[in-house]
Amino acid sequence: MIDQYIDYLRTYRSQRTVDTYRPQLARWQAFSTSDSITYETFKDFVDHLRSEGLSDGSINSHLRSLKAYLNWCHKYLNHQKFYVPMLKVNKKIPKVWTSHQLEIIETILNHRAQRSRRYQILRRTHYMLRYTGMRAGELFHLNWSDIGSGIRIEGKDDWTTKNKQDSILPIHPKLLEFLQIEKHEGETNYLDHHFKELSHLTYSMRKFQKSIDLDGPKPLHGYRASVATELLSGNMNPVHVQHLLRHERLSTTELYLNTTHLPLQELVNSLGIYREDTEDVTKTMKWPERESNLRHTDFQSLEEKIDKLLRLVQKDQ
C-alpha cells in the first residue's frame, strides 16, 4: 500500500517531497510487519527510531509522513483512522538574514548579473523572494504571464500550490521597479527554465552565498523566514503576516517571532495611560475596533429596521 501512496504523491507533489517520504515510510514498513496497529505501535516505533540515533525533530518528520500516509489509507481505503502523537520538541528560532545582509546580497547580484546568465537568474530569485516572501516552489513554477498588477500564485498542469491554496500577492515598489527594467522577451517562465530542478537553484544560490561569506539560513527558505521575521519585528499584525505568507495556522507564523527582543518595557509603560482631563473619560477608554475580514454589524441601523418591522406588524393587527 505504501507503493500505492508514493504513486499517488507523484501526481501532485514534487519529486523532492516524494524522495523524502519514501525512506521514512520504508522505515515504518520494515518496523511494522503486522497488519494490526495499536497506539502502542507508535510508541514502539519512536523508541525504534531513537535507538537508530535519530533526534526528536527527525522523528517528528517521520511521524508527519506516517500521519499523512495513514490519513490517505483512511480516506481512500476505508482503513481505521489513527491519531499519531507527535513528540514535544523545543522550537528553534529560525535562522534569518538581517536587512544589512540582504542589501549586500542585492548589491552584489546587481553587479554580477552583468557577467552571466546564472547571476541574472539568481538576481531574479533574490528580488522575488525578498519582496514577496513566496515559497521556493511557487517561484520555480512562476510564469511571466502570472505577473500583472499583482502576482498570481496558482497551480499548473504538473504542479499544485501548497494546500491547493491559490492567491494573488501584492507587488513591492522596489520589485515593481526591477520587473519593469528586466528584459524577458520570448520567455515564458520567470526563471527561464535555467535550472532543471529546484534543488539545482538551491545549490547555486548556496554556492553564491558562501562565495561572499554569507553562509547563514537556508538559501531559499531563508528569504521567507527573513520576511516573516522582519514584518513581525516591525509590530505588524501577525494575522496580516499569516495571510501574506499563506500559512494554514497562525501558530506557524508566530514561530518567526523572536520573543527575546520584544519591547516588554514599552508595553508595560503603556498600561493605565489615558486622558483624565477630558470631559468624557469613557470616550478615551473605548475598546479598539476589532480587525476582522467579517463585516462590522451596524447595530443602530439594525435597531431602526426592527422598529420599522414592529410598526408594520402592529399596523396589520
Q: Provide the pLDDT for residue 262.
A: 67
Range of the domain at 234: 92-284
More confident residue, 302 or 216: 216
109 and 186 fall within a common domain = yes
Q: Could you tell me the three cell numbers for 160? A: 499544485
Q: Could you tell me the three cell numbers for 144? A: 511571466
How do residues 122-179 score in pLDDT, each as one tens digit?
Answer: 999 999 999 999 999 999 999 999 999 999 999 888 888 888 888 999 999 999 999 9
Domain annotation covers residue 83 = no
Q: How many helices (H) and strands (E) does the chain have?
A: 15, 2
Residues 223, 71: Cα–Cα separation, whole Å = 32
97 and 72 fall within a common domain = no
Domain annotation covers residue 125 = yes
40 and 122 fall within a common domain = no
Residues 184, 46: Cα–Cα separation, whole Å = 51
Domain annotation covers residue 82 = no
* CATH code, 52: 1.10.150
Among candidate residues 77, 104, 120, the one where a domain is terminated: 77
29 and 139 fall within a common domain = no
pLDDT at 53 over 60: yes
Q: Could you tell me the three cell numbers for 301? A: 441601523
Q: Which value, to the nearest 10 degrees, does the dihedral of the CA atoms of residues 124, 126, 128, 129 take? A: 150
**Residue 143: beta bridge partners?**
189
Neighbours of 108 (CB within 10 A): 19
168 and 29 fall within a common domain = no
Residues 259, 267: Cα–Cα separation, whole Å = 13
Neighbours of 93 (CB within 10 A): 13
Domain annotation covers residue 226 = yes
41 and 171 fall within a common domain = no
Pick the range with the lowest mean pLDDT from 38-42, 137-141, 242-246.
38-42
Domain annotation covers residue 294 = no
How do residues 190-233 score in pLDDT, each as one tens digit?
Answer: 999 999 999 999 999 999 999 999 988 999 999 999 999 999 98
Decide if 144 contacts 131 (C-beta within 8 A).
no
How many structural domains comprise the chain? Answer: 2
* CATH code, 130: 1.10.443.10
- With bands split at pLDDT 50, 70 and 90, how would you rate the model's confidence at 269? confident
Q: Which residues contact 265 (CB under 8 A, 6 or more apart)?
A: none
DSSP states along 127-161: HHHHHH---HHHHHT-BGGGBSSSEEE--BTTB--
Q: Read off the pLDDT of each residue in 291-310 and give the average, rounded to a whole number.
A: 55
Specify the DSSP element, H or E, that contains 169.
strand 167-169
26 and 53 fall within a common domain = yes
188 and 262 fall within a common domain = yes
- With bands split at pLDDT 50, 70 and 90, how would you rate the model's confidence at 34? confident
The SS3 of residue 168 is strand
Residue 41: closest CA among 51, 26, 31? 31
Domain annotation covers residue 314 = no
Where does residue 53 rank: exposed (0-12), middle (13-18), buried (19+ CB within 10 A)? Answer: exposed
99 and 66 fall within a common domain = no
